[in-house]
Structure 1
């Protein structure tokens, strides 16, 4: 796997940042998590006057061979149908992105469908879906290298156009199974603690899903690296997102992570280079049962918790106005001296 250098932000400005936040016309800490978000963005940008420029969300789509085993309540065809819905501008992520002025791009990382050219579609197809991880490795070494490189390339192109904040979403029937397998390996949890309902799985389907994923783990019991993990059970969209997240941090962009599947890609990225954590904001805590455990493992707090479990980057789009508010308050809110308000003795 390629190496991506991510610089750790200097902490030299931390005292000045804290002073600016604490001397706004409010009690210390009164803006809660907005203050910690503002502090983090100031450190990322190494400034007391941060800016959010050309916000972007990228939705990576891919199909999974494991879906043939019935781990999802929906057929594989839904992946390409939802991509077409994104391109028509009528999905939830389209609505929320447009509402908040976020540029949206859809990436065909490996959907089992041939799309026509579209201005909002990035063709980065690695294959027509992964192989079935129950019977063989999902991804070849060459495909993994391509996926990581494509993810880096996509982010570099967005960054070159002036964006300094980027969110990551996904679409892929069967990808909650891949995410559960990744979570189980990295977080050292039994698969039953990592498997949720995904896209509407009932009780019988949930038990079947656990049984199948346990068999997948037995098939790939000798995994010893993140590369081997992605090869064995990953998805093209998860692998591509892993590379994209690493590159965004390397470019010193603000990295916005969506829900369960996006966080599984982040787990891989963080295992490769932990400095990514300095650039990352976790937008929401998904209602998918394993996501709370992922965030606890990472010792991070989400910006919002609204019982979402849609994916698509919707959590990023919905959290973005709060991120904008954190930047606006540190830039525009009066200090005690500016407003002539007496501070606490």
Structure 2
């Protein structure tokens, strides 16, 4: 199978096919994807000697996130950077931009990255193919979907952490319960929902549980929690589990707006243990997921793969821990 065959299959010139496969030149993403798909269908593998930087030629690892400059991404970056440095690699921060012409997989191919960590994003099949067809190993960190498409993933014990939150709220004397769920319902959100319900069923089988939806943000969580707090009767204590610390902060705002006191009237547990959790008033009880350690584990797996070790076939799972503070 030759480059001419790939060009004919994709309906482009040989020169365009060559640039697409090597990651060189300014091509429309759709054209590049068409050439890569044609090469995959025909079973064509480009000889690195023909041009383009082969995977792993540079001691670089890529970290791809949907956004940076927030508390979660800061933790991920810190853990990934430390592990990369320890393994003798530089870390490249790549942001997935929500634009049709964003061709981040080809930028990774062009620089010959030794491996890629994809964090909290859902790459398309063609984006993944652009990376894996170049034999660049990929590890998913906290994948949003249940299936990992055969790729190694790193995650935490979402269900167990939420189970512990339910048990803790019941032990602290909550008489009613609410869970603030994120929408869309990603894999980890569904696991936290299931774990909380299971824990509450065992700790307080006759308890009243209300579920409200927010968009994973604090402002939406505030609006969702307001009716619950307005309807709280004298002598009741509402135990709220928010599926992220940011949504827990929204519950704090709703409590302030309705004159409810934390933890006297409302007990709140979050999930993440980001740096802002301890600075809320009162400090937030939360389920800590080891974000830095998860990022480090993903990078370490890639560095070992670059040295010839196989990537783990099953998910790398790190445990959560309930951190008790003043909100309960």
TM-score for the superposition, normalised by structure 2: 0.31
Q: Which entry has the higher C-alpha Rg, 1 or 2? A: 2
Question: If each structure's helix is expressed as a fraction of its own residues, which one has the higher value?
Answer: 1
